[in-house]
Chain A
């Protein structure tokens, strides 16, 4: 406590503050009794108030004293609500000290009281016009301190006049220039450009260096906005700079700082020159080059003082000169010299210098003239990375390495950055990861190196490897077939590490799923080993990764038929099929089903190798650019969005042709990067999953065929499909697909998808069975759907159908909804035909002919001879007969060209045996179809249905 009091007295100088000192001392000593302080202040405030209100007019000194006390109390943190008027009165005093306290009070306690503002402005105006330099100075300071828009409105026109008036004192000019700068910064629109601008430029020639410094600040700011207007400042600035740098260390007297002539002014002049391109006038240009050379030379001279202030000031000028050299980027000689100078600083013992040198060199590296020179310092920079104790300096070193990297030194730099990454600060790891990934890709001559680098990256800093990085490595591996085998081998080896990062599992899963076959020949990486290796990581991974691994497994089913049973066992296990996570469960169910029902051909098509990605700018680069920005929509997600549109069938689908044509997209999505849930821009999982289902379970040909509601074609398409799904109907707004599992009791899953972004209201699907159909078929909808379908959403409904007796007509699904104010009504004939209730019956030749003969009653046989509508292909025909639901009996008919089938139609009331025989005549392009069943109507209906298929 004593020391406080002591220092208070030590500080004591000047006069008239003794009362305040007591106050100050009181505030210290009584600090622990807050009330005492408040009491003391309140007492003082009451005293001042009474003095101000008293009858006796206060003299200037007392007024000043009390205003000053009020100001002090305010600065102690107490509110002051009076005294403004007295302060304004002080402004009109002719004594400096009184005026000064008045202005001080006004500057600190600005009040928006309009009456006072008018008075204040009036006082300021008087002082500006007073020609007394001290008063003018005080007025200008007050304007600048307040710096409000009101001040600018009142004085922005006045100050330029003061500034350029011939008879204005130097100190006032200085203040005027800075005051104008302040006003220009707050309200540039209020500062008029005019004649005065050219005269301001000439202030650069002023005798007084203070004026020059203030004017340079002002001109630099103005020139950034109006370069044309201040163009003449370039030559003046150059000549001023030249005079400073060539001056002896004592020439500038007051403006020499530790033997450096006017360092701050030099910096400002160099900054002003950076607003313009290199001067065109060769004389000016030569003079500037000379200046810059002198500055560079001086850096090499022995210091004139050992004081750190001397070298700091000198280096401040040097760094600014280098900035200008880099800005001009036109003098190779200077650029290289600058680079060498910075190179020396790289090893300087001052941390500040090393930091600044690395920072400047970063910009130097991008110049074509100095890039090579910068590269010579690579060892020093790498050393800095290893030994530097300050993280911000190391970060600069990383930046510089990134900037100086090119094809020649990329392997070295990338290796160094990787090894640094192991010990790097957490705060900069992600940035380094991105930089390494970009450099590795940009300068990869040999893509095996690239793959190694990225895998190392994941190994060292897996947590900091963002999605973009591993998406990108997969894109590159897929697009470059020369590296695929190597990539598969490397990830396989990397995965063998006992603990590997989840990102590595992702990359490994994806790459082995695509290219595992390339290394399967080696017994050490046989399909089963590959699968077991991946599956050993499965349970440690998060849901998205597990989802990806499941896709890898189904790809394995296609690549390696020998591991199919193992994979099916895995998929069948409860932990998959009954997984609590919907996505995983759905994938397991669907993949298992897919692997069971699909033929090898279909599997091969669906699970085809990924098509190359379109080449575009690396998403990592975009990420680095946007690192600080909020939006992170990456290229990859865009890609994905485009793809998912394809998958769900655009409004104008391509005409149906071969089955191969439409598969790439579904398979892309099947294994899709994008299907991993974290992608925020993807479609909602339900719709994505549903769309996937449709494609997996349908012939691709049927997906894309344009349909008309109730059209016969559409209807016929489903006749020869056993259990499956397909698109029933779609138009611009909605689509409706069915999926269908059946035996005896038909169950149809119908998905309604809203393809628009608007809601469907009053969405009501109803199942209509005609009167004729009524007794024969029982159809009912299990559960009504929600009447509102959100845009982009998909809803599911189950329809149960029971066959009571044979029937011919099909039930109709009627869908009504309101969309964007209009009422929509759509009817679709459900593809439920008699043959859906067929069960195939295998039988030997002998049995067949025996039954055939039993059904010899003319009513029981129906025969149809018709012309082939499709090419007569044996395999297709066989598939169609099987798809129709009957068993295909081989080696029954003596004529091998003929097809024979048998089956039983199950209805609730009876079972109807069915035999069929199809005799093609290739020459005539005709078929003869014979059907024998125990019921005439059934024979008739089946014959109609089947005839339409060939």
Chain B
């Protein structure tokens, strides 16, 4: 299952975090720092999975923003990896050309979107962002890889 979901920028600032297991507030900062450090130190040639303590980090980079998902070892890495992309597509559909600033400044709006459209995350298991995305017309997606610009 998913332990946490993070959006962190290259400077190491957390833009969004959601924990599905209880983690102390002060431990979170430490964890986030370490997580982003281990993601930043990797090159494109390296795989997107990091073994970190007793769980795995799966990350994807969109421009300056990293999305990192912490999962326990029973999770299917590839499914989570693609799920991150799916999530970004949802955001992109909803906000059109979503950027890091959107994430950081419109926390409130984000939260409401989060709640209304990404309910499945609430339980720490990815299930159905799909429906959210596919309700929109695929044709409207701009060519090339959609994502945070």
Contacts and interface: CB of A to CB of B under 8 A. Distances in A.
Contacts of A256: 134
A392 interface: yes
Contact of A217 (B97, B99, B123): B123
Contacts of B97: 10
A624 interface: no
A100 B97 CA distance: 25
B79 A253 contact: no
Given A75-B107, A178-B127, A263-B79, A141 B45 contact: no
Given A75-B108, A267-B79, A354 B124 contact: no
B79 A320 contact: yes
Nearest to A101: B112
Interface in A254-287: 254-257, 262-264, 267-268, 271
Contacts of B125: 178, 181, 217
Contacts of A8: 101, 105
Contacts of B109: 14, 17
A320 B76 contact: yes
Given A8-B101, A392-B49, A257 B86 contact: yes
B119 A178 contact: yes
Chain B contact residues: helix, strand, loop or mixed: helix
Contacts of B79: 263-264, 267, 313, 316-317, 320
Contacts of B108: 20, 68, 71-72, 75, 104
B78 interface: yes
A255 B105 contact: no
A32 interface: no
Interface band, chain B: 35 or more
A490 interface: no
Contact of A312 (B81, B116, B126): B81
Contacts, number: 162
Interface in A74-108: 75-76, 100-101, 103-104, 107-108
A7 B46 contact: no
B131 A255 contact: yes
A803 B88 CA distance: 99
Interface string B78-95: 110111011000000001
Contacts of A461: none
Contacts of A267: 76, 79
Nearest to B51: A392
B111 A355 contact: no
Nearest to A138: B115
A542 B54 CA distance: 36
A354 B49 CA distance: 11
Given A254-B135, A352-B78, A75 B111 contact: yes
Contacts of B13: none
Contact of B128 (A141, A144, A213, A391): A213
Q: Which of A100, A221, A263, A323 has the most CB of B within 10 A?
A: A263
Contacts of B74: 271
Nearest to B77: A356
A776 interface: no
A71 B49 CA distance: 35
B130 interface: yes
A104 B111 contact: yes
Given A100-B112, A107-B115, A312 B82 contact: yes
Nearest to A137: B119
B58 to A, nearest CB: 9
B45 A264 contact: no
Contact of A214 (B77, B81, B128): B128
Interface in B90-149: 95, 97, 99, 101-102, 105-109, 111-112, 115-116, 119-120, 122-128, 130-131, 134-135
Nearest to B125: A217
A33 to B, nearest CB: 18
A407 interface: no
B78 A316 contact: yes
A209 B115 CA distance: 20
A313 B127 CA distance: 14
Contacts of A351: 45-48
B49 A352 contact: yes
B75 to A, nearest CB: 9
Interface in B45-75: 45-51, 74
Contacts of B124: 182, 185
Given A17-B109, A263-B82, A390-B46, A319 B119 contact: no
Nearest to B102: A11
A579 B79 CA distance: 65
A315 interface: yes
Interface string A181-201: 110010000000000000000
Contacts of B135: 254
B76 A11 contact: no
Nearest to A27: B105
A269 to B, nearest CB: 12
Nearest to A390: B46
Given A24-B105, A71-B108, A356 B78 contact: yes
Contacts of B102: 7, 11
Contacts of A681: none
Nearest to B135: A254
A320 B51 CA distance: 19
Contact of A178 (B50, B99, B120): B120
Nearest to A257: B130
Interface in A1-34: 4, 7-8, 10-11, 13-14, 17, 20, 24, 27-28
A253 B130 CA distance: 10
Nearest to A100: B112
A352 B116 contact: no
Contacts of A317: 79
B128 A210 contact: yes
Interface of A: 4, 7-8, 10-11, 13-14, 17, 20, 24, 27-28, 68, 71-72, 75-76, 100-101, 103-104, 107-108, 137, 141, 144-145, 147, 174-175, 178-179, 181-182, 185, 209-210, 213-214, 217, 221, 253-257, 262-264, 267-268, 271, 309, 312-313, 315-317, 319-320, 323, 351-352, 354-356, 389-393
27 contacts: A7-B102, A8-B101, A11-B95, A17-B109, A27-B105, A107-B115, A141-B115, A174-B119, A174-B128, A175-B119, A179-B122, A181-B123, A254-B134, A254-B135, A264-B83, A271-B76, A312-B82, A312-B85, A351-B47, A351-B48, A352-B47, A352-B77, A356-B49, A356-B77, A356-B78, A390-B47, A392-B49
Given A76-B107, A356-B78, 6 more contacts: A13-B95, A257-B86, A316-B76, A351-B46, A352-B78, A389-B43
List the 8 shortest-distance A-B pairs measured between CB atoms, nearest first.
Answer: A316-B78, A254-B134, A316-B79, A390-B46, A355-B47, A144-B122, A75-B107, A351-B47
